[in-house]
Amino acid sequence: MKKLLLSAMLAAFAMHANADEKSIREQLGKAMPNIPIESVKPSVVKGIYEVNIGSDLVYVSDDGKYLFQGRLIDTQTRTDLTEEKLSGVRKVALEKLGENKMIIFKPKIHSHTVYIFTDIDCGYCRKLHSELDTYLAEGIQINYLFYPRAGQGSDSYNKAVAVWCAKDRNAALTSAKKDQKIEMKTCDNPVDEHMALAANFDVKGTPMIVSEKGTVFPGYLPAKELLEHLKADKK
């Protein structure tokens, strides 16, 4: 999907000279009327604008002629400037979704919050959940979002919907991850929203952990190791 999007954008960018922020946005809107352009801002590099499309970031020359996708690195500080921006975008997207559309496990004493894209049938997702008490003991709040990798209509997807529709979602999720039977039912649910957000975040596997700042920690991490990452992330 992203390759097709980028190809369409590149094809559309043989455009006029002397573009500015407003005209770049107008040109993008004309070329890609159905693409959500969140913002167009000057980057730290003179003559280059950063364009926030959904939860992705691309760069455009100030004459509107060239578009490129990739990582902008500060070679002196060795800082990934693109990742810093994307972290902020992820943070806003998660806040916009809201905790009322997540399944939350709260510790007695709260020190950190993570957002975890999970698949009920994923082995490492189950391992992480089986160690849930160790995360809570470290003060880490777990906010779950569903990402059934097999897609809509799969067994994993149907289980995710059933968990959300259960009277006690937390208990149902734990049962499902233990491969225990749960009542298969449907209701209004945010599973498709979770999956769309996962696609925007370019989730490639589960579990995928995202910090409060929007930093991604792909894969399973034991509680103490995750805690060290979260402490460093807050600095």
Q: Which residues are catalytic?
A: 119, 122, 125, 149
Count H helices and E strands in the chain, helices first: 9, 11
* DSSP structure class, residue 147: -
Both tokens of residue 43? 């980057």
* CA proximity to 11, closest of 81, 66, 73, 57: 66
Asked if residues 136 and 105 have their Cβ atoms less than 8 Å apart, the reply is: yes
Alpha-helical runs (H) found in the chain: 2-12, 21-31, 81-97, 123-130, 132-137, 155-165, 169-177, 191-200, 223-234
- Distance, in Å, from the CA atom of 63 to the CA atom of 23, rounded to the nearest integer, reads 9
Q: Are strands 140-146 and 216-218 parallel, antiparallel or unpaired?
A: unpaired
* CA proximity to 146, closest of 66, 203, 78, 213: 203
